[in-house]
Structure 1
Amino acid sequence: MTSAVEREFPTDGGAPADVMAVLESVERRVLWLATAIVDHANRVRPNPSGLKVGGHQASSASMTTLMTALWFHHLTADDRVSVKPHASPVLHAVNHLLGRLRPEQLTTLRAFGGLQSYPSRTKDPGTVDYSTGSVGIGATAPLWGALAHRFARDRYGEPSPPGRQYALLGDAELDEGAVWEAVQDPMVAGLGEVVWVVDLNRQSLDRVVPGAAPARLQGMFAAAGWQVLTLKYGRLLEELFTRPGGERLRARLDTMSNAEYQRLLRRQGPDLRHRLPGNGSDAQVVARLLEGLDDATLARALRNLGGHDMASLLHAFEAVDDSRPTVVFAYTVKGQGLPTEGHPQNHSSLLTAEQMRHLAARLGTDLDDPWAPFPEGSAEAALCAAAADRLRRPPFPLTAPPTVPPDSGRAAPSGVGTTQQALGRTLLDLSRGAPDVARLIVTASPDVSSSTNLGGWLNKVGVWSHTAGHDWFADDAETILRWQENPTGQHMELGIAETNLVGLIGELGATWSRWGRPLLPIGVVYDPFVNRALEPWSYGIYAGGRSILVGTPSGVTLAPEGGAHQSITTPSLGIEQPGCVTYEPAFALDAEWCLRAALAGLGKPDGSSAYLRLSTRPVDQSLAAVPTDPAARERRRHQVTAGGYVLRRRERPALAVVAMGALVTEALTAADRLTALGHATDVVCVTSPDLLFRAVQARRGLDRADGSILEQLFPAHRAVPMVTLLDGHPHTLAFLATVNGVPLTALGVTRFGQSGSLDDVYRHHGIDADSVVAAALDLVEAKA
């Protein structure tokens, strides 16, 4: 009896013969359109620059059967599909046949404002369920999309149809570590609505993939609890295997190296007959079997893999087990049906004009009229129309997220506190003061909830699970963190994999656009590992996901932790990341205001994601000098969320120290010393270098942001030499010199961290008060 990993699907079902014939006809048209879309972009459309346009005819060809089977027979309107990046022309072809793209739009692949090179939810004119492009991220997105849909259904209490979440990915994408981080996460094991289809064409960009990897990969999925289905051979080969010598032919194909198989695809006639049997003891038996086949049938048989067999695919899709995730390994030929099929360098190759004309003749189309529709009244036209009706999604009303109160109204904190503590406190305040907002908040972390001050929030709202779980430590008096798992929980805990976390919050933040139901996701990670998570988070933002990423604790302020746990580059990430606002507050109330402002940007079309960089350094909160007058307090709040505010303003200043985050204390100390030395020094607290940079750009007509905050912080009549200071790379604030064209010295961290006391570490990096004073005096002397 074969194991689940080894089981191959029969090829005896899926649809009636007449339907199958029409599907195969549509498949040929999809192959033609996908190929012609790339051809037109490269060979027909004018290209004055001479730069390569590119496209992936071969990568698209290996997917045409798979995608035809799905869209034109199997999918429902509730299903969502993530398409491998290099198969975007196939998706465009499918969308055209479904009436979602006009013929003239097929001529715009990779043109400005046209069809995107890789599927994009926000930029493509056709229907795209998931943005893809970065290898591996599109594969994992449907996992997080499934979790986000389940959470949204539980939160809103509505019986929204679940649908399936498909990922179509290339086998080379399974080299990405992020894929396996996601596959083995415990939260994924019960996602029966997830189906991955692996386009197993055994090629990557430059080469034929060496080794017999499929069995190992299948075993890894099975070990993670996935259903594993294998579509290796099609009906023609399966029939040949039943003939005398057929099992020897199967064994020959099974044991053949990937490279040899690919090379045989380039052989024809007598040469193929000579080489296919091989040199083993069974060669003569296989050769006798092949004698009964004409050359055309032999060539078709060699290419008759499961991923190109319509009946096998339909049968496999019907056999999906809804109780666990499923992966279908569909063997294919890269470039199937094209002159370039099977060649190891066909990844970006383009068919010539002559090859395109021969292809058109073989597929029953016309190179001179490439977008001609199926004849009206034909079975193919009827099938496309029926699929379009079946897949049409009714419009849904967009539920606006509730208004986030910008301020709790609570008195400014006194005593010593940290911005990290303010994270948990603000969430609890919202649960009491704005329950309609709080009920849509969902927090997530990679196993760092307690160490990032989410414990109180987690104890209050519980841990989300699709089914209720038992807390075996509920009666343990020494247990501080209560792990209550139930469908009403609002915290989602993943394994220690930051890429999974940001993939999840990206999809949680996209529910407003998928189902009209907004959520307010907050992901919390250790700040040193934000860089590890940045690429998939960026892709989530690109795809329309609005989320908040909190990096805490941060900087070399983690003095005893040493270099491995100290972040340097993260402060500037928000400046560089489109669709995101970055904040680094210095005081607890600043952190609350920034978090509330960030929450207000989620769950809506014109919103924004946000990155908050928080610290564990205890700071005297009275240094914030928050005004008690209501109007003055509101002005301060507005400045905090606009980018910064003035902490100290002297008469006739000689200098300004501009600081961000935890180092505001050093800035204040240095300013007092400089003033005592006769150099009156202003102190400005920056809360968002990102928003200040946008204001600078707006002043020059390069951004649409409000630039008024600059005049409040840096009025031209008070322009003086400036020292900038932060616990991160100094370039983050260096642009402030351009506001008024003043001399500036940027202090920050440019080397790997060191373990030690806070004083030792700050002194080592030149960000202590002494370093600020010295840098400021140098500026005064230079000016004199």
Structure 2
Amino acid sequence: MNDTSPAATTDATTPAHLADSTELAALRDISRRVLWLSAAIVDSANRGRPNTTGIKVGGHQASSASMVDIMVALWFHTLTDLDRVSVKPHASPVLHAINYLLGDLDPKYLTMLRAKGGLQSYPSRIKDPDTVDFSTGSVGIGATAALWAAVSHRYLASRFPDTPPAGRFVSLLGDAELDEGAVWEAVADPQVSGLGELLWVVDLNRQSLDRIVPDIQIERLRGMFAAAGWQVVVLKWGRVISELFARPGGEELRRRLEEMPNEEYQRMLRVDSCGIADRICGATGSADLKGLLASLTPDELAAAVRDLGGHDLGLLVDTFDTVDAHRPTVVFAYTVKGRGLPTEGHPNNHSALLTEAQMRALAASCGTSLEDPWSTFGTGTAAAELCARRGQLLRRSPCAADPPVAVPTSLGHPYRKASSTQAALGRLLADLVRDAPEVAARVVTCSPDVASSTNLGGWINKTGVWSASERFDWFADDAERVLRWSEVRSGQHIELGIAEVNLVSLAGELGATWSRWGRRLIPVATLYDPFVSRALEPWSYGIYAGGQSILVGTPSGVTLAPEGGAHQSVTTPSIGLEQPSCVAWEPAFAHDLEWCFLHAMSEVGVPGGTSAYFRLSTRPIDPALARVPQDPALRERRHRQAVAGGYRLRTVPPGEEQVTLVGVGAIMPEVIAAADALDGMGVTAGIVCLTSPDLVFRSFQQRGARTVGGGSDIVDELFPPHSAAPLVTVLDGHPHTLSFLAGARGDRIRCLGVSDFGQSSDLTDAYRLHGIGTDGILDAALTLLGR
């Protein structure tokens, strides 16, 4: 099977047996029942439910079958209630079957795979009714989630002594998932090599969705993991065939099986058992090899060539019990896709469904029936007793939650000098340590090697950089150093390499600690806004899986115009508005940033909370332009409007407003200047400053909705129906982001923004190039007015 290296076959074939024969017999019975149940769950969803849509329900019986023995060994022998496991997406029926046997899933759900209110197509931590530790629908990304959960728990334990303990963090992934770049970004991160609680098991069935993978370069994969500091274990052959290898002709048998292409090996699995010996020997087999094969019946030989390490329960449990606990471990377990099914080893078995006749044959081989598909083991049997014992052992008690921590609505410091929102974020975090220490203790920042350039320097100087182990600071006595990079276990900033996927994956797991271990964190991840798109899928995955975090994209837009188009984001405002379970913000002024950011922090790490995305700028803006009221009541009204999505900068008597200028973020000085210019021309212009187009859109959407409750009425405050006027919207991002405002009152609208790649220039030239400067806004307003 494309691997002739002796080292790849000797890692884990001979450890001492740690499981006794009685337990192994029970494990084999359970494995057969789990194989049946996982196939029956998919079968019931496809043949057992009415389907009038013409759209297939689907499922993955073959992908599940290759994982059965691995998962049975873990759940029914190895795992404790402290362990957390990420299960490959296509093996979700196996997970549900196991949970059912453990008493963790009501049998009514077994017929509800991929049905409303039932079992999700892929493991979902939030939506499935049974215990699921990690959502894994995003292939490759779910596998790394357990790694970042391990880092998150280590961070918690180093900061909060009362953190509940954790065990192993296990990822079960398909070999095709190793094609995903997210896997290698995570594996290669320097801090990962010290995580002895990590265990990855690769289901090496050598098939992807469409084909048999022609060449699994196991030695290359071994080398990549080993170079990153991982222990690598390869389970190629089971103990039955390994005993044959020790007989005369056995070494030749091993060599023949290991040198044949994957396609030839799997074709051999599809032929009649009487033809296997000829396929192995061919015309060149020695007398010893022929004698060895002749000593076996066809059925014995068929079983032997299928005796791969990933299907040897004794070898699996012994391996899992003896892995090194001081460094991460990856186990490559050779398996057969579709093991035990009629579709075993077929190149097109990925989503193939068994027929009724095939299901009946499978039921007979597994000791059950299609008429009573959900039967469990008889009382008093070893399998029943093992299921009951393991179910009790794996049952988890809820973790006690932290006492509530109130996030202040304002820190109360005046803003008198021109400041960018990026600088305001740095000041806010640094002030938080002094003004709200209980909240600050829950904040953890992280960045992909851009901490200083995203203004986290003051925060880091006050709180330190987190490291699993203390590191000596060789620059501590350097008087010229501005950023004090002291790496300690008490630090509150986690620095990663230049890997945005790692950043948001870690943020998602840091944001899930409140629901995993009852300890609230408020993760704040900063990165350059142009790279938000690169990080979007894993961040979206983290939100879907229940992780709440704050993502800060800065600098944004064309603020850094001299650096060229590669550092000028265009589509991120729209991306933020469209991301579920997240509120997107783009405040213009420092005090708006403080109000909105504190509000966003109050929503993170709590039941029913939400994530947030802040699009910030490096452009300094004079806070006086915001005209913040000095009267306490009016100031509080402005505060409420800011956190609701926006406010009006000018009060125009009803019916006198001729045009409304709507701005977002760093573009507000140009919006205000254009309004002043219009006033000089005798045109009365209203000014709307949006802090969150996202929240305004939600307010717009909920008008007239027939659902109970709803959001704010901020859209009507900003665009009162009795003061209709043409709209000019402008932002340093794609213009379509604000196009929905035309529907607020049915106004004519002109949307200005950035819809093309930028180039190096100064800011004035960049604004002129994209038509978002004062002149462009003025021209759009006059055009709408027919002047």
If the length of structure 1 is used for normalisation, what is the TM-score? Answer: 0.98
SS at match of 1:425: helix
Query: Number of paired residues?
Result: 780
Would the aligned equivalents of 2:644 and 2:712 in 1 still touch at CA under 8 Å?
A: no
**Post-superposition CA distance 1:51-110 (Å, at most 9, x none):** 100000000000000000000111000000000000000001001001111222100000
The reply on whether 1:74 has 2:78 as its aligned counterpart is: yes
The reply on whether 1:592 has 2:597 as its aligned counterpart is: no
- Rounded to whole Å, the distance in 2 between the matches of 1:656 and 1:554 is 25
The reply on whether 1:660 has 2:668 as its aligned counterpart is: no
Deviates more, 1:164-173 or 1:186-195: 186-195
SS at match of 2:172: strand
SS at match of 1:233: coil
The one of 158, 161, 166 aligned to 2:170: 166
Deviates more, 1:698-707 or 1:14-23: 698-707
Aligned residue for 1:534?
A: 536
The reply on whether 1:763 has 2:768 as its aligned counterpart is: yes
- Rounded to whole Å, the distance in 2 between the matches of 1:702 and 1:332 is 53
SS at match of 2:281: coil
Trace 1:238-317 onto structure 2 (pairs within 5 A): 238-278=242-282, 281-282=284-285, 284-317=287-320
Would the aligned equivalents of 1:146 and 1:193 in 2 still touch at CA under 8 Å?
A: yes
The one of 233, 237, 258 aligned to 1:233: 237
**Post-superposition CA distance 1:320-379 (Å, at most 9, x none):** 111111100000000000000000100000000000001101110010110012112221
Instruction: For residue 603 of structure 1, report the CA deviation from its aligned partner.
Output: 1.1
The one of 23, 28, 32 aligned to 1:24: 28
Would the aligned equivalents of 1:657 and 1:724 in 2 still touch at CA under 8 Å?
A: yes
- Rounded to whole Å, the distance in 2 between the matches of 1:585 and 1:420 is 10
Would the aligned equivalents of 1:58 and 1:335 in 2 still touch at CA under 8 Å?
A: yes
Instruction: For residue 606 of structure 1, report the CA deviation from its aligned partner.
Output: 1.1
- Rounded to whole Å, the distance in 1 between the matches of 2:537 and 2:172 is 20
Aligned residue for 1:559?
A: 561
Instruction: For residue 190 of structure 1, report the CA deviation from its aligned partner.
Output: 0.6
Would the aligned equivalents of 1:525 and 1:550 in 2 still touch at CA under 8 Å?
A: yes
| 182 and 487 in structure 1: CA distance in 2 versus 1, 3 angstrom threshold | same
Would the aligned equivalents of 2:163 and 2:517 in 1 still touch at CA under 8 Å?
A: no
- Rounded to whole Å, the distance in 2 between the matches of 1:744 and 1:700 is 23
Instruction: For residue 285 of structure 1, report the CA deviation from its aligned partner.
Output: 3.9
Aligned residue for 2:366?
A: 363
Aligned residue for 1:184?
A: 188
Aligned residue for 1:693?
A: 697
**Post-superposition CA distance 1:91-131 (Å, at most 9, x none):** 01001001111222100000011000000011000000001
The reply on whether 1:99 has 2:103 as its aligned counterpart is: yes
Q: Percent of pairs identical after alignment?
A: 60
Instruction: For residue 524 of structure 1, report the CA deviation from its aligned partner.
Output: 0.4
Aligned residue for 1:725?
A: 730
Aligned residue for 1:678?
A: 682
Deviates more, 1:534-543 or 1:265-274: 265-274
Instruction: For residue 318 of structure 1, report the CA deviation from its aligned partner.
Output: 1.2
Instruction: For residue 278 of structure 1, report the CA deviation from its aligned partner.
Output: 4.4
Deviates more, 1:13-22 or 1:707-716: 707-716
Aligned residue for 1:525?
A: 527
Would the aligned equivalents of 1:400 and 1:518 in 2 still touch at CA under 8 Å?
A: no
The one of 321, 329, 332 aligned to 2:335: 332
SS at match of 1:276: helix
- Rounded to whole Å, the distance in 2 between the matches of 1:659 and 1:60 is 52
**Post-superposition CA distance 1:356-415 (Å, at most 9, x none):** 00110111001011001211222111110000111011122222441100101112x122
The reply on whether 1:198 has 2:202 as its aligned counterpart is: yes
- Rounded to whole Å, the distance in 2 between the matches of 1:260 and 1:284 is 23
The one of 765, 780, 784 aligned to 1:779: 784
The one of 563, 567, 570 aligned to 1:568: 570
Aligned residue for 1:386?
A: 389
The aligned amino acid for 1:358 is A
Aligned residue for 1:14?
A: 18
- Rounded to whole Å, the distance in 2 between the matches of 1:641 and 1:257 is 62
The aligned amino acid for 1:295 is P
**Post-superposition CA distance 1:466-517 (Å, at most 9, x none):** 2111111111122111111111100000110000000001000000100111
Aligned residue for 1:344?
A: 347
The one of 465, 468, 488 aligned to 2:467: 465
Would the aligned equivalents of 1:398 and 1:512 in 2 still touch at CA under 8 Å?
A: yes
Instruction: For residue 3 of structure 1, report the CA deviation from its aligned partner.
Output: 6.0
**Post-superposition CA distance 1:425-447 (Å, at most 9, x none):** 10111111110000010000000
Trace 1:601-750 onto structure 2 (pairs within 5 A): 601-651=603-653, 652-701=656-705, 704-750=709-755
Would the aligned equivalents of 1:183 and 1:224 in 2 still touch at CA under 8 Å?
A: yes
Would the aligned equivalents of 2:661 and 2:688 in 1 still touch at CA under 8 Å?
A: yes
Trace 1:539-554 onto structure 2 (pairs within 5 A): 539-554=541-556
| 159 and 719 in structure 1: CA distance in 2 versus 1, 3 angstrom threshold | closer
Deviates more, 1:711-720 or 1:228-237: 711-720
- Rounded to whole Å, the distance in 2 between the matches of 1:702 and 1:476 is 64
The aligned amino acid for 2:303 is R
- Rounded to whole Å, the distance in 2 between the matches of 1:145 and 1:100 is 23
Instruction: For residue 422 of structure 1, report the CA deviation from its aligned partner.
Output: 0.7
Deviates more, 1:391-400 or 1:347-356: 391-400
Instruction: For residue 286 of structure 1, report the CA deviation from its aligned partner.
Output: 2.6
Would the aligned equivalents of 2:466 and 2:490 in 1 still touch at CA under 8 Å?
A: yes
SS at match of 1:745: strand
Unaligned runs of 5+ in 1: none
**Post-superposition CA distance 1:2-22 (Å, at most 9, x none):** 769962332651300111001
| 705 and 559 in structure 1: CA distance in 2 versus 1, 3 angstrom threshold | farther
| 216 and 536 in structure 1: CA distance in 2 versus 1, 3 angstrom threshold | same
**Post-superposition CA distance 1:291-324 (Å, at most 9, x none):** 1110111110111000000011111111211111
The aligned amino acid for 2:326 is S
The one of 35, 39, 55 aligned to 2:39: 35
Would the aligned equivalents of 2:12 and 2:315 in 1 still touch at CA under 8 Å?
A: no
The reply on whether 1:407 has 2:410 as its aligned counterpart is: yes
Aligned residue for 2:93?
A: 89
- Rounded to whole Å, the distance in 2 between the matches of 1:159 and 1:773 is 58
Aligned residue for 1:509?
A: 511
- Rounded to whole Å, the distance in 2 between the matches of 1:660 and 1:359 is 62
RMSD value over aligned CA atoms? 1.4
SS at match of 1:189: helix
If the length of structure 2 is used for normalisation, what is the TM-score? Answer: 0.97
- Rounded to whole Å, the distance in 2 between the matches of 1:65 and 1:581 is 43
Would the aligned equivalents of 1:440 and 1:520 in 2 still touch at CA under 8 Å?
A: yes
- Rounded to whole Å, the distance in 2 between the matches of 1:766 and 1:399 is 51
The one of 397, 420, 423 aligned to 2:422: 420
The aligned amino acid for 1:374 is F
The reply on whether 1:376 has 2:373 as its aligned counterpart is: no
SS at match of 2:378: coil
| 394 and 562 in structure 1: CA distance in 2 versus 1, 3 angstrom threshold | same
The one of 496, 500, 515 aligned to 1:498: 500
